[in-house]
Chain A
Amino acid sequence: MLKDITLGQFFPGNTLAHRLDPRTKLMVTVLYIVALFCAKSFVSYGVMALWLVTAVQVSKVGYKALVKGLKPVWFIIVFTAVLNLIYIKGTPLVTIWKFTIYREAVETAVFMILRIAMLIMGTFLLTYTTSPIRLTDGLETLLSPLKKLHAPVHELAMMMAIALRFIPTLIEETDKIMSAQKARGADFESGGLLQRAKALIPILVPLFISAFRRADELATAMECRCYSGGEGRTKLHVLRFAAKDYLVLALAAVLTAAVIVLGRMGL
């Protein structure tokens, strides 16, 4: 069950999508999300789909992995679609029992499904093709102007990197604790919601205690390796924009602009 968590997963590779500067990928993702929220017609959604498909093709990440990322949110997708179907009024299309479904409602529901699905697939593509360290490096550099406002940008990036580093370790630990509790007769599978939630306590307590102990030891180990915050730190991999980064950024900007203009034209 825990092995299914895809958050922050990274598929190493050597495609253009992998080699781009993480800052480029972050900015392209932001542009992609903006464009996605500006898309209001089948034409503009077509442009967005083209964008996504091109990115997926370039990155050579399988569609299977992308669709798998949708699994945890299918309920939200269906829920929003159904709500849209019920509440939006306009030209009647069909009437089933007491409910009349309108043409506009179907349209909005379809757009909603597309929007959420494409949003998630797009952002997953970013984490699939960018190693967490590069991602946090990129984020730190992009947000570094905020350091002037005394925002703890380095600290946040470091926290994110460490959190991502410890996800597999903590998952492994949770599995171990679960096995240990099962061996002593704990039951996690039966009973109602409340009972199951209660059964989680004997897992969470040791997990938290161990996480705190790990944090303490890690902090000591980091100090012993001369860590003293972001001041005066250098990097093994220096981020550099190349021609391909400017090209990809320009392309993403053009596509976003196109979608916005299409939206203004009512398409």
Chain B
Amino acid sequence: MIEIKHLRYAYPAVEGQEPAAVLEDVDLHIEKGSFTAILGHNGSGKSTLAKLLSAVLLPSGGEVLVDGLSTAEEKNIMEIRRRVGMVFQNPDNQIVANVVEEDVAFAPENLGVPAEEIRARVDEALAAVGMEAFRLHAPHLLSGGQKQRIAIAGVLAMQPEVLVLDEVTAMLDPEGRREVLETVHRLNRERGMTVLLITHHMSEVEKADRVIVMEQGRVVMDGSPKEVFPRVEELRRLSLDVPGTVDLLYELRRIGWDVPLDALGVDECADAICKFLQ
């Protein structure tokens, strides 16, 4: 699906300064239909990576291939952008129109899709994010979570192959965050949408198939949540939190209890503790 080979990226040099390297030698392969989370605190290069995927930025070295199309080639750009649906942090700054359905129609309009098909795509995209009832509403009157779901519908209308979500929950309240994450997980589960979720919230990645941790432009960990989270000390050194359950198990182990570290779910964690106590 997405192939990243020896990717390097440096922002253009400001006068009198060395170009600042943001990504160094990143190698990744994203499987079709997978749910991948990319973790890292500010400045780890994770948002730059997202922009490289949709050809907003072009690699300084190495290459990014989306379905075999290189982002470095001018003629591929539109097709790559159609295949890679990008959703950003601030929903207000992605919504173009003052009516929900007009906004969702923006991308297919750009692609030159005929009117009847735009109608069908808009209805389908709104249904996919559970916002059909708000078809004719003004976006600025919706809640943050609802706006972000509209933004997701807006890229779904392009019928993309992969959804790249760049810190989409950062500006939302807990309720909005839950709404958006549920929507994204449902899209992945029910429609087989490939999802790349970029975040710095540990709690959002528990249900991912794969977790990639980035630090200073490099991939430092890569594996399933069960493989990554037990590495508590390393994660803490990267100033990342661990889920509450892992934290509890970690502390228990420190006082000598023999519990596994990879029981991520609350029930699973409770079972592990009960088993030890018996």
Give the interface of A toward B (CB within 8 A). 12, 131-133, 161-162, 164-165, 168-169, 172, 214, 217-218, 220-228, 232-238
What are 15 A-B interface contacts by the 8 Å CB criterion? Answer: A133-B98, A161-B96, A168-B138, A217-B90, A217-B94, A221-B96, A223-B56, A224-B84, A225-B155, A225-B158, A226-B78, A233-B110, A234-B109, A237-B115, A238-B115
Q: Give Cα A227 to B94, complex, Å.
A: 12
Q: Give Cα A225 to B85, complex, Å.
A: 7
Total A-B Cβ pairs within 8 A:
94
Q: Which residues of B contact A224 (CB under 8 A)?
A: 54, 56, 81, 84-86, 155
Given A225-B106, A233-B112: A214 and B158 within 8 A (CB)? no
Cβ–Cβ contact A217 & B98, under 8 A: no
Q: Which residues of A contact B101 (CB under 8 A)?
A: 236
Cβ–Cβ contact A236 & B93, under 8 A: no
Q: Which residues of A contact B35 (CB under 8 A)?
A: none
Classify chain B's interface size: 35 or more
Cβ–Cβ contact B111 & A161, under 8 A: no
Whether B20 sits at the interface, judged by CB under 8 Å, is no
**Minimum CB distance partner of A8 in chain B:** B98
Q: Which residues of A contact B158 (CB under 8 A)?
A: 225-226
Closest 4 CB pairs of A and B: A236-B105, A221-B94, A217-B93, A225-B107
Q: Give Cα A266 to B97, complex, Å.
A: 48
Cβ–Cβ contact B140 & A169, under 8 A: yes
Q: Give Cα A135 to B110, complex, Å.
A: 19
Q: Give Cα A223 to B107, complex, Å.
A: 9
Cβ–Cβ contact A234 & B118, under 8 A: yes
14 A-B pairs besides A165-B95, A224-B84, A226-B82 with CB distance below 8 A are: A217-B88, A220-B51, A220-B56, A222-B106, A224-B54, A224-B155, A226-B81, A226-B110, A226-B111, A228-B78, A234-B108, A234-B109, A234-B112, A236-B118
Cβ–Cβ contact A228 & B110, under 8 A: yes
Q: Which residues of B contact A225 (CB under 8 A)?
A: 81, 106-107, 110, 154-155, 158
**Minimum CB distance partner of B112 in chain A:** A232
CB distance from A69 to the nearest CB of B (A): 19
Q: Which residues of A contact B107 (CB under 8 A)?
A: 225-226
- Which residues from 88 to 143 on chain B have a C-beta closer than 8 Å to any C-beta of chain A? 88, 90, 92-99, 101-102, 105-115, 118-119, 122, 136, 138, 140
Cβ–Cβ contact B109 & A221, under 8 A: no
**Minimum CB distance partner of B136 in chain A:** A12
Chain B CB count within 10 A is highest, among A220, A224, A235, for A224
Cβ–Cβ contact A227 & B110, under 8 A: yes
Q: Give Cα A218 to B90, complex, Å.
A: 10
Q: Give Cα A168 to B98, complex, Å.
A: 10
Cβ–Cβ contact A218 & B96, under 8 A: yes
CB distance from B60 to the nearest CB of A (A): 19
Q: Which residues of B contact A169 (CB under 8 A)?
A: 92, 140
Cβ–Cβ contact A214 & B93, under 8 A: yes
Q: Which residues of A contact B97 (CB under 8 A)?
A: 133, 161, 165
**Minimum CB distance partner of B141 in chain A:** A168
CB distance from B156 to the nearest CB of A (A): 11
CB distance from A241 to the nearest CB of B (A): 16
CB distance from B219 to the nearest CB of A (A): 24
Given A217-B88, A217-B93: A131 and B106 within 8 A (CB)? no
Cβ–Cβ contact A131 & B99, under 8 A: yes
CB distance from A218 to the nearest CB of B (A): 5
